[in-house]
Structure 1
């Protein structure tokens, strides 16, 4: 029989600064079916918002599903030792 000891290790979850986040949207307007047109992914929300504005202007559609994605890193916290 193998014996295991599990200890709690304090940690933090942080956004990974080495990877850019992604912003995108797709149109969910429609009565029976969604429009479904997508903005594409961008590293900044500005182009997605501009795409939404243009799509609304061209189609009258006003409802969008926005997605934000990023990468996270789990880091153990430094333990405070004796002074």
Structure 2
């Protein structure tokens, strides 16, 4: 049986947030003495909307402990496809 030679090409990739897709925000109530409440906010397009849900839940239940979840979408790019960083210098 002959051995097959294999060539693997390793590329350097970098990740970045996919700006074509909006991030998502959620909150889950983890308050409770014996058992966590686990009430969940709807998926929100902005952090402020998840915060508003937490405040409303606080008013209804008195619960003050929440787990906040931020989900974004990423894309992998070969490093030679990345744009160079641009810096604005501010002089004081």
Q: Normalised by the size of structure 1, how large is the TM-score? A: 0.85
Structure 2, unmatched stretches of 5+, are 82-92
1:13-67 Cα deviation digits (max 9, x unpaired): 0111111110000101001111111111011111100111111122110100111
For residues 55 and 72 of structure 1, what CA distance do their matches in structure 2 show?
A: 31
Query: In the alignment, what sits opposite 2:41?
Result: 39
Q: 1:53 aligns with which of 52, 55, 59?
A: 55
Query: In the alignment, what sits opposite 2:19?
Result: 17
**Does the residue aligned with 1:78 lie in a helix, a strand or coil?**
helix
Flag as ranges the 4+ runs of structure 1 deviating above 2 A: 5-8
Structure 1, unmatched stretches of 5+, are none
Number of corresponding residues: 79
Q: Normalised by the size of structure 2, how large is the TM-score? A: 0.77
Higher relative contact order (CA 8 A, sep 6+): 1
